[in-house]
Amino acid sequence: MAKCSEDKKEEAEVHKLKANEFFQKQNYDKAIEFYSKAIECNSEEPIYYGNRSFAYLRMECFGYALEDATKAIEMDKSYVKGYYRRASAYMSLGKYKMALKDYETVVKVRPSDKDAKLKFTECQKIVQQMLFQKAIAVDDDKKSVADSINLDAMTIEDNYDGPALEDGKVTEKFMLDLMEYYKAQKKLHKKYAYKILLDIKAYFTKQPTLVDVHIPDDSKFTVCGDIHGQFYDLMNIFKLNGLPSPSNPYLFNGDFVDRGSFSIECIFTLFGYKLLYPNHFWMSRGNHESVTMNQMYGFEGEVKSKYSSQMGDLFTEVYNWLPLCHCLNKRVLVMHGGLFSSDTVTLDDIRKTERNRQPPEEGIMCELLWSDPMPGPGRAPSKRGVGTQFGPDVTKRFLDNNNLDYIIRSHEVKDDGYEVSHGGLCITVFSAPNYCDTMGNKGAFINLQGDTMEPKYVTYSAVEHPPVKPMAYANSLLRLFS
């Protein structure tokens, strides 16, 4: 390899400084662009890879972050930040044992580094907890958490002034009362919360993996993307587009929880409407409706804080039964992530997919939850480290093979709340504006008319919420990265 000239090294430093400025402004796309330019000028400097890895982490491109951090370490075994970055990527992917190895390396190099020691200890706790849970698990005859819930033993205290189920059922009045109660930052009684979870689990267990939805010709239908625990923005969607009802149906396309710190409020509102209008309200599973994501990004911590770990386990059982995608009028397929690493996948293959489990690391279920579109043709390894990236030719072949018009997916922050790609054949919708209170993006939802199925986009800005920061309940490790 030819040595980098001094001029090129100087140019690379200019690009790095520019990238740092964009990073400080939380414009991570631009930061990545300029770190990449620095690497083009001088590919021998591990710091550029380490910095770009950090920007990729902020963009949730964990696969790319892992690749860059590994490259930086290969170039300089003593580059400590490289190990930090790689550990962060491993943690985000749920690969805790790999993360622990990197933290161990940092601690050995910097035995007096309190921050490194703290991260190592926290990661070690997670690994030990996983090993303990594995040791006590009985796979053959594991009792359902739902079966162990005794609602009759739960007493409604006299001082409880919140919404109440009527004869154990969700009603329109209950939903209106619930949303107002949540806006006032109050908590639904645990007896009603458990009843909703038990009822919704019973409902979802009877649903197919791929749900066919019929939209009458003259009817409006709304598709929403990620909500991510942003309850007050969810309320704004209902304000702008109307409350769910038989004449105003909705599909929420996964990632209802995590990141935002009002996930409990979001999920019970959505589950409540699903029970109230089962034939006019739909929910798809996202990659964040899983144990690994919930452990890291806040939902598990929030459930434990507001209710109990037992309820967290019940949520896991419910999430395992969420449908993986919906087919609208036999023309539009809606899934959280995207398409597949094989051209042979059909709608029948999706229907036959076993979903009552945690998402696997490959295959149809994994890719429905994790994949992303890319501008160029063909396929590429996922920028997230899970799923695949698929090009416009892949999308067209899938649609042609399955007699569909286009796909709608979510899963990615977009500046305008939505993005039309692959020549109009792939639409991304993301409904959490100013994601994590930092991204500055708009939120969006899609209105469809049954006869034309032509998408109309409504965008909106974030609204104010109470002073509880996103990730308030997240695993402490995620807040420690520097």
Residues 372 and 411: their CA atoms lie apart, in Å, by 8
Check: CB of residue 294 under 8 Å from CB of residue 300: yes
Who's near 108: CB < 8 A, 6+ residues apart?
A: none
Confirm if 231 and 261 have CB atoms less than 8 A apart: no
What is the amino acid identity at position 342? Answer: S
The phi and psi torsions of 228 (rounded to 5 degrees) equal 50, 50
Question: What is the distance between the alpha carbons of residues 433 and 460, in angstroms, rounded to a whole number?
Answer: 7
Rounded to an integer, what distance in angstroms lies between the CA atom of residue 239 and that of residue 437? 21
Q: Tell me the C-alpha to C-alpha distance, in Å, between residue 467 and each of 209, 211, 262, 472.
A: 38, 38, 11, 11
Q: List the end-to-end C-alpha distance of the chain, in Å, as a whole number.
A: 33
Helix (H) or strand (E) holding 460: strand 456-460
Decide if 288 is catalytic: yes
Residues 6 or more apart whose CB falls under 8 angstroms from that of 446 comprise 222, 223, 224, 408, 418, 427, 429, 455, 456, 457, 458
Q: Where are the beta strands (DSSP E) in 201-247?
A: 210-213, 220-224
Amino acid at 447: N
- Element (DSSP H or E) covering residue 426: strand 426-429
- Burial class (CB within 10 angstroms; exposed 0-12, middle 13-18, buried 19+) of 440: middle
What are the φ and ψ backbone dihedral angles of 166, each rounded to 5 degrees? Answer: -105, 115
Q: Which of 473, 468, 470 is nearest to 434 (CA)?
A: 470
Q: Note the Cα 435 to chain centre separation in Å.
A: 11
Q: What are phi and psi of 58, to 5 degrees?
A: -65, -30
The count of residues in the chain is 482
Q: How far apart are CA 186 and CA 67, in angstroms?
A: 44
- Which residues 6+ apart lie within 8 Å of 141 measured at CB? none
Catalytic residue among 280, 288, 326, 411: 288
Q: Are 397 and 343 in contact (CB under 8 A)?
A: yes
Contact 62/91 with Cβ under 8 angstroms? Answer: no
Name the residues annotated as catalytic. Answer: 288
